[in-house]
Chain A
Amino acid sequence: MIGGIENRILLVSLISRPGQMSQEQVYTVASDSDTTGDERSSAPFPEIAIGIDIGTSQCSLAVWNGSQVELIRNTRNQKLMKSYVTFRDESPVGGVSDQLSHEYEMLSGSSVFNMKRLIGRIDTDPIVSQASKTLPFLIQTLGIGVKPFIAALVNNMWRSTTPEEVLAIYLVELKALAEVGVKRPVRNVVLTVPAAFSRFQLTRISRACAMAGLHVVRLMPEPAAVALLYAQQQRQLSVHDSGSEKVALIFNMGAGYSDVAIIVTAGGVSQMKGLAGSTVGGEDLLQNTMHYLLPDMENLFPNKIKSMGILRVAAQDAIHKLSSQSRVQIDIDLGNGIKICKIIDLEEFEEANKEVFEKCASLVTRCLQDSKVNVEHIDDVILVGGCTNIPKVKNMVMGICKKNKIYPGINPLEAAVRGAALEGALAAGVNDPLGSLDLLTIQVNAHSIGIRANRDSFVPIIARNTTMPARREVVFTTAHDHQTEALIVVYEGDEEVVDKNYLLGYFKVVGIPLAPRGKPEINVCMDIDASNMLRVMVGVLMPGEQNPVVPPLEVRMPTADDGNGLSADVLNRSFGSTLDLVTLHNKMSR
């Protein structure tokens, strides 16, 4: 295990799960003597949770102030704060309180950022290997399916850290800022997360919060938070007309991720019809643009960090300018005699990022198909996230939805955090006399969850876009004669080939009676409860019998830890196909 804090965290075993309140211990990264949660759990009213939007590049805080949502500003009067942590000799500082003299300071090697892109990913993940080549701090990958080694440069020495630790340090600063803002201790938070996050990544976010002394009331997919804000606005607009339904498509593209949701709302009740997310965002645009400016950038620099920083800032600047002008002049000196003097126009930029835009388009199309909503029925198209300012992105979404006007009532950079703050008030049971909190969102899960079966196939048990809470079951059977044990390997994702999905955990079912293959019924049931906790239950039944042969197993997922890529290989090597399962109705159709 890398990083001291991680070690200690494991010893106190505080994997915090959303919805489980108050009994876990608090671990604090910085000094934080005043918050123990106990005094507040006895309070007559539940604490209103603070909304936090942890963006790949920027973060923000908001809270329900009794009548509306208010954003909390830092001492420099900023509502949006840069997401990074700088490691120094003394204690690390994050972008909440820190003042950068120039952007280059963040790119000097001592600052770690983009933690939201890196958290919960293993070193075989293309996102990680791409980041290791272009980010100005150390991301070392062995390519064996374990957590990457991450370090920041302190006094010319690499000091190890983890995305969880970096996030926790940052969250401690946010917590302090929130406490100043609301003038009380803060413990409960609602965080927005990308729809693309796996359940394993969600546990990492919860862990980072626990390290910072925060309790996660809910992790909300970003478009779900925006949907809540929209539902509130629609409810206020149509107080006297609760019957008419509004259909909205929400597209969110930030620096790290993109997500889409389709929501139907009437009278404060919203049904999510579809939810989809992808790891494609502004960071990809940035890296493509850097490549475009200097195709051989990874091999060119002896003094990598400084030159990379200059290139990064120039590319970022160019992307911003290309949102409002058709061409931009780039003139930079990267040192070592490498100078770039180039004019890049909108067409070149769009060509260099063709793949990114195509991925976004297919995400929107897929979500529309899944939700079975006809584009003609869409009333509003809501665009949020910094990248939706890019003309190509805007045109793409509006084109697919056959709309020419973007929904005007939502601030694209504040919508997610405002929705999170609303949810924070709702979860605390706050009652607003004006009715602006009479909201209910019926959510769906973004990814299918299933097991490995039929050799190397992924068999979904709870399909994506299933309404939550949910309980589903599929009956499997043995693949071999006299097979007495079976391996249940649980994955999350939407790929047919099983190991392209996220491994959530695995366990063995034993005590299957001796029988020809295809006879025992292995019933795999999955259950997502109100707090989005996943349980997998497995029972073995013999045809004609009423009771399970052995006591059924119930396992909370995810159980896999950082080495999840490695363990899939080990399982495969150790057991091959000997403990395989096949779906029962496949057997019947033969």
Chain B
Amino acid sequence: MCCSHGFISRIPTTPPPLVSRQPHFSIPSTVRLPIATRTAKSFRTKSAAAATAVKDGSGSVSETVMEDLSFYQLLGIPETVTSVEIKQAYKQLARKYHPDVSPPGRAEEYTQRFIRVQEAYETLSDPNRRAMYDRDMAMGIHFAFSSRNHLRNDEHMVKSEWRGQWRSQLSELRRRSMHKESG
């Protein structure tokens, strides 16, 4: 870490092992991905796979789960933490990963990290959304980074959250009944 950025970037933190688990971050920072590749990748992993997962509740769910960390893992906190602790964890990670404190040439990488941390924080710091997220996790459907964004337009949010919830319940029921029939 570059020390010319002062205290903020020098705060010792124990971040979750983002680099090893996230395919997006393993790219050498000096090499900029060709734009089309990056875009195609994001469409496939984030929206298509997640959308498919929500729709048919099939095998792609577990694929998505395997690929992303939970919001708790992202913030490096246990699932039992209080909202004060969530805020503290977020601020510590912001000091570390906000692109404004990134070492020269690594702004893009830091941006990606920060966006994930932000998403996790926004979800977990809102009691309703955290409860929803916890329920989803308990059911094995965990919406990682960005997968819910298209449902999050403010006026549609409540309804859509509910619909997503309802749909995942439906698919869970279907999965169980299929299980029963076959078993």
Chain A interface residues (CB < 8 Å from chain B): 19, 266-269, 426-427, 429-432, 435, 437-442, 459-460, 463, 467, 469-475, 521, 523, 525, 529-531, 537, 539, 541, 543-548, 551-552, 554, 584-585, 588-589
Q: Are the C-beta atoms of A426 and B100 separated by less than 8 Å?
A: yes
Contact B146 A471 (CB under 8 A): yes
* Chain B residues within CB distance 8 Å of chain A: 2-8, 35-36, 39-40, 42-44, 46-49, 51-52, 55, 91, 94-95, 98-102, 107-108, 110-111, 114-115, 118, 122, 146, 149-154, 156, 159-160, 163
Q: Nearest Cβ in chain B — how far from A19, in angstroms?
A: 8
Specify which of B5, B8, B39, B154 is in contact with A537 (CB 8 Å cutoff).
B39
- Supply 25 A–B pairs (Cβ within 8 Å), ascending by A: A266-B91, A268-B8, A426-B100, A429-B2, A431-B4, A437-B6, A438-B7, A440-B94, A440-B95, A440-B98, A440-B101, A469-B99, A473-B46, A530-B110, A537-B39, A539-B40, A541-B43, A541-B48, A544-B52, A546-B44, A551-B40, A554-B35, A585-B150, A585-B163, A588-B163
The residue on B at minimum CB distance from A551 is B36
A427-B100, A431-B3, A438-B7 provided; 20 other pairs, C-beta below 8 A?
A: A269-B91, A269-B94, A435-B6, A438-B8, A440-B100, A441-B100, A442-B98, A463-B154, A469-B99, A469-B114, A469-B115, A470-B118, A471-B146, A472-B146, A472-B152, A474-B149, A521-B51, A525-B47, A539-B43, A547-B48
**In the complex, are the beta carbons of A472 and B149 less than 8 A apart?**
yes
Contact B2 A539 (CB under 8 A): no
Contact check, A438 vs B6: say whether CB atoms are below 8 A apart: yes
Q: How far is the CB of A367 from chain B (nearest CB, A)?
A: 16
Residues from chain B with a CB closer than 8 A to the CB of A438 are 6-8
Contacts of A554 in B (CB 8 A): 35-36, 39
Nearest to A475 among chain B residues (CB) is B150
List the A side residues contacting B48 at CB < 8 Å: 523, 541, 545-547
Decide if A429 touches B4 in the complex (CB within 8 Å). Answer: yes
Contact A467 B118, CB 8 Å, known A435-B7, A537-B39: yes
CA distance A266 to B47 in the complex (A): 36
Tell me, rounded to whole Å, the shortest Cβ–Cβ distance linking A544 to chain B. 7
Q: Is the interface of B mostly helix, strand, loop or mixed?
A: helix
Closest residue to A440 on the B side, CB-wise?
Answer: B8
Are A548 and B40 CB-contacts (below 8 A) given A442-B98, A471-B146? yes
Chain B residues contacting A431 (CB-CB under 8 Å) are 3-6
Residue of A nearest to B42 (CB): A525
Q: Which residue of A19, A269, A521, A588 is within 8 Å of B95 (Cβ)?
A: A269
